[in-house]
Amino acid sequence: MKRPFVRRALAGMAITLLVLAGCARPDSDAGAATASAPITPALIPAPATLQVGEGSFVINADTRLSATGEPATRVARQFAAYLQSAGGPALAIADADGKNGIRFVLETGNAAAASPEAYTLDITPDGATVKARDERGLFYGAVTLWQLATQGDKGGVTLPALHIEDAPRFAWRGFMLDPARHFQTVDEVKKIIDAMALHKLNTLHWHLTDDQGWRIEIKQYPKLTEIGGCRIPAGDGGKDPKTGEPRPYCGFYTQDQIRDVVKYAAERHITVVPEINVPGHATAAIGAYPELGSIDTPLVPSSEWGVFPNLVNVEEPTITFLENVLGEVVQLFPGTYVHIGGDEAVKDQWEASAREQARMSQVGAKTEMDLQGYLVERLEKYLTGHGKRLIGWDEILEAKLPPEATVMSWRGIEGGLKAARQGHDVVMSPSNKTYLDYLQTASPNEPPGRPALITLQDVYAFEPVPPELEESQRHHILGLQANLWTEHTRTFARLQHNAFPRLAAVAETGWTPAAKKDFADFTRRLPTQLKRYDAIGLGYAKTPFEAMIATEDDRKAGTVKVTLSNPLGYPVHYTTDGSEPTSTSKAFASPLDLKLPVTVRAAAFAEGRALAPAATFELTPAALLTRTDEAMAVCPDAGRLLLRLEDDGPAEGERAIFNATIFYPCWQWNQADLDGIASIKVRAGRIPYYFQLAHDEPHRTFEPAKSPLGELEILGGGCKGHTLASVPLPAAPGADGFLDLDAPLPAGTAGRQDLCVRFTGDTRPQMWVLDRITLQPR
């Protein structure tokens, strides 16, 4: 499309609506008075033990830090920097211990007593002391103290006397970042690293290669980034708006930048695990060096999403190429693990390739999966020879797997169970619990992504150690990891929205003892965490903290029934006179029967503070006749892949967003009241169809077109019901990229029924999408 459609709030929709919220930064100056009452600790992740004692200790601009030795001094400086970056006082490091200060103590004795990440924190009226036997533990103790110190005003805080003994539950507490689809700058990666550190996460999985881009400089093979590092986005996003010429999307990290990021992460006790994905997700690599491919068709880095058929071959020159690549990778990443992918490698090209079939015979592979297993075995042997361990997605279990290989279980937990029982170490990362590109609420204000919800509650409830796993094998569960794929995450602001606060739930699962996890208590502590996010400028999602409204209208009576809620269960206060709701406004308790027209304003509150700006809903008879695509239901037979898709233009700035099911594109307004309705107006848009479905392609269906360009069809009684209207489609939308169609209803159409809206014909490489539907009275 040419221009984005800026959506206006449609107040009276008979489904849930939400508004984005923001939390204001504290307004106090650095010299403000210290809080007079001790704060109530609100730590995320919750520590293993916390005991509150008698008395209190004040941290303010006069507080001094002390540390002995380079590691402890380093941690003290990090604490001071983090505190100041959150708007707290600038604290100096003194040369010697003193009363009324903060001491960082590294105890080198008793090295076998606890985890290297363990620490103790003692706060007394005489001061605060962080102790640990390893710098990692000392750092995490400093993070805990930072969280406590940021609960006050910028000028200072009064802390209660307390004693904390703490250590993580799991050794692997990870987050995966995907720059292959949409690129993050070095500064953006560092911002994520800092946020991870302040959540006590310790592993950054860096997904550096995929079909859409190769993002790491390999000096022996410069075309990997020269060619593989660029693609032409689909549609208007891939055109220069002034000239119409192709507009490439490029980006990669130089080796110096890689070293810089790895060093920055290590200083914050985060290990970076690189991923070089083979044999699938390899289109960018094959586009750069065609001899790597399994077919002779030229390829370029793709602007589409999904599962591609393109695999590297498994011949000796390709294995040498991969070993050479890994040879440079292992020099850049000092951590133990290198990830080799192994997922979604559709074997069609190998099955059709005489060369690969001959190679199977040569290496003794009975199946194409065995051939992938042979490749994994060769790469594992190479990595082991360089002091590294191989980790891959759970598909690598489908062939014989070297004993030392580690499995990352993403297709549920079953792969992790199987791997642990075979004696392999496992990182649990199931897509239905820990994938952060899935939407977190039903809000129309959610950015593009996969609308199947993975809420904050879902993430928090995930247990990485399945109860059915035998006790003798549970030590193989190294921990858990959240993954954020960026097909639909075009901006860094959206990446932060998708990650936070759900990554806080991942952090608590990874750190806190299972018996101490409590979601109600987590949500009690969460508003304080949001204040920390505001203080450090972290762009977390506001949608879980919005006020939500659902309506049921009675047009004949001129009334509406209103239900208010919040996705996380925070209490909602409201007004109906247009005024700003406060914590003393009426609290919603039961559905409201209101006379139309009416203005409802609502906000969710915690500790007397609105968690988001008030949602304003102008409920009028006219507004109740319109629904946007987000407010429409999915047709029962629409298939399993509902996506929240972004328009293809403009190249920069905001774009329209649409909910669409790509397996069977249709939308349904359940129980629409058609009494007195003469016609239905549909506003539609058209965007590129940019999906590779591999073996799922046969499941995609569409209704046959009855005219050359297809039709808009309106059906009553659902998508298997009777046709109420059919309007031929034009060749193209209007100049703004949208199209308004009016569909008259047959005389006598009345009553409540499920309205189905769909477009006929296979229109690829384009697809029609619904923007909104309006019932037009007689």
DSSP for 495-516 reads HHHHHTTHHHHHHHHHHS-GGG
> Is 22 a residue whose pLDDT tops 90?
no
Q: What is the pLDDT, as a whole number, of residue 533?
A: 97
Residue 640: per-residue pLDDT: 65
Structure confidence at residue 462 (pLDDT): 98
- My answer on whether 690 and 570 are in the same domain is no
Q: SS in 3 state form for 528-572?
A: HHHHHHHHHCCCCCCHHHCCEEEEEEECCCCEEEEEEECCCCCCE
Asked if residue 33 is part of any domain, the answer here is no
Q: Do 525 and 559 have their domain in common?
A: no
Domain with residue 696: its CATH number is: 2.60.120.260
- Contacts of 343 by beta carbon, 8 Å cutoff, 6+ apart: 277, 280, 281, 392, 393, 394, 395, 410
Res. 36: pLDDT tops 80: no
Any bridge partners for residue 175, and if so which? 204, 482
Q: Which tokens is 238 given?
A: 């891939």
Selection from 56, 25, 65 nearest residue 150 by Cα: 25
**Structural domain contains residue 9:** no
700 pLDDT band, cuts 50/70/90, is confident
If asked whether residues 183 and 134 sit together in one domain, one would say no
- CATH number of domain containing 420: 3.20.20.80
Does residue 18 surpass a pLDDT of 50? no
Out of 496-505, 647-656, 677-686, which region has the weakest mean confidence (pLDDT)? 647-656
* Residue at 19 is within a domain: no
Residue at a domain's end among 147, 166, 185: 166
User: Is 80 within 8 Å of 91 (Cβ atoms)?
Assistant: yes
Q: Please say if the pLDDT value at position 164 is more than 60.
A: yes
**Do 93 and 126 have their domain in common?**
yes
Look at residue 639 and tell me if it is in a domain. Answer: yes
Residues 309-348 as b/e (b if ≥16 CB within 10 A, e otherwise) read bbbbbbbeebbebbbebbebbbebbebebbbbbbbbbbbe
pLDDT digits (tens, 9 = 90+) for 538-591: 999 999 999 999 999 898 899 999 999 999 999 999 999 999 999 999 999 999
- 3 state DSSP class of 166: strand
User: Is pLDDT above 50 for 24?
Assistant: no
Residue 703: strand pairing partners: none
Q: What pLDDT is attached to residue 17?
A: 29
Q: How far apart are CA 390 and CA 425, in angstroms?
A: 11
* Count of structural domains, the chain: 4
Is residue 305 in some structural domain?
yes
Let me know if residue 24 belongs to a domain: no
As a whole number of angstroms, the distance between CA 463 and CA 474 comes to 12
- Whether residue 14 lies inside any domain: the answer is no
Q: Quote the DSSP letter at residue 482.
A: E
The per-residue pLDDT for 137 is 98
- Both 354 and 369 in one domain: the answer is yes
Distance in angstroms (rounded) separating the CA atoms of residues 664 and 64: 65
C-alpha span between 103 and 100 (Å, rounded): 10
Q: At 91, which CATH number?
A: 3.30.379.10
From CA 670, how far away is CA 672, in angstroms rounded?
Answer: 6
95 contacts 73 by C-beta, under 8 angstroms:
no
Over 70: is that where the pLDDT of 33 sits? no
DSSP 627-674: EEGGGSEEPTTS-S-EEEEE-S--SSS---EEEEESSS-EEEEEEEE-
Return the pLDDT at 478.
98
Cis amide linkage into residue 501, ω under 30° from 0:
yes
Are 641 and 569 in the same domain?
Answer: no
Chain segment 110-121, per-residue pLDDT in tens? 655 679 999 999
Residue 11 within a domain: no
pLDDT score, position 6? 35
Domain boundary among 144, 166, 188: 166
Cβ(309)–Cβ(349) below 8 Å: yes
Residue 53 pLDDT class (50, 70, 90 cuts): very high
Non-local CB neighbours of 360 within 8 Å, separated by 6+ positions:
350, 366, 367, 368, 370, 371
| 3-state SS, residue 193 | helix
Query: Is residue 678 classed exposed, middle or buried when 0-12, 13-18 and 19+ CB atoms within 10 A define those classes?
Result: middle
Q: What is the 3-state secondary structure (H, E, C) of 365-434?
A: CCCHHHHHHHHHHHHHHHHHHCCCEEEEEHHHHHCCCCCCCEEEECCCCHHHHHHHHCCCCEEECCHHHH
Active-site annotation, residues: 210, 281, 344
Q: How many CB atoms lie within 10 A of CB 683?
A: 18
What mean pLDDT comes out for the span 441-461?
Answer: 93
Domain end call among 131, 166, 201: 166
The 10s digit of each residue's pLDDT in 620-673 is: 999 999 999 999 998 887 666 789 999 999 888 899 999 999 888 899 999 999
Among 411, 406, 415, smallest CA distance to 433 is for 411
Q: Quote the pLDDT of residue 154.
A: 83
Which alpha helices (DSSP H) does 86-220 contain, by range?
135-149, 186-197
pLDDT level of residue 82 (50, 70, 90 thresholds): very high
| Residue 393 sits in the same domain as residue 528 | yes
Say yes or no: 140 and 210 in one domain: no
21 pLDDT band, cuts 50/70/90, is very low
Burial category of 14 from C-beta neighbours within 10 Å (exposed 0-12, middle 13-18, buried 19 and up)? buried
CB 188 within 8 A of CB 160: no
With CA atoms as reference, report the closest residue to 322 among 206, 226, 224, 211: 224
pLDDT one-digit tens code per residue, 329-361: 999 999 999 999 999 999 999 999 999 999 999
For residue 56, give every residue at least 6 positions away whose Cβ sits within 8 Å of its Cβ, in sequence order, or none: 38, 125, 158, 159, 160, 161
Distances (CA, A) of 194 to 197, 266, 538: 5, 11, 10
Q: Please give the pLDDT value at position 13.
A: 33
| pLDDT surpasses 90 at 450 | no
Residue 729: CB atoms within 10 Å: 22
**Same domain, residue pair 253 and 379:** yes
Same domain, 503 and 384: yes
**Separation of alpha carbons 42 and 46, rounded Å:** 8
Q: What is the mean pLDDT of the chain?
A: 93
* 510 and 478 in a common domain: yes
CATH number of 614's domain? 2.60.40
Distance from C-alpha of 514 to C-alpha of 536, rounded to nearest angstrom: 29
H-helix segments, 340-367: 348-352, 354-363
Residue 125: domain span: 49-166
Long-range contacts of 551-555 (CB under 8 A, 24+ apart): 551/12, 551/13, 551/14, 551/15, 551/619, 551/624, 552/14, 553/12, 553/14, 553/596, 553/621, 553/624, 553/673, 555/621, 555/624, 555/673, 555/675, 555/676
> Do residues 659 and 574 both lie within one domain?
no
Phi, psi of 753 (to 5 degrees): -155, 160
User: Distance between CA atoms of 13 and 5, rounded to whole angstroms?
Assistant: 19
State the Cα–Cα distance between residues 371 and 210, nearest whole angstrom. 20
- Beta-ladder partners of 715: 723, 756
69-78 pLDDT tens trace: 999 999 999 9
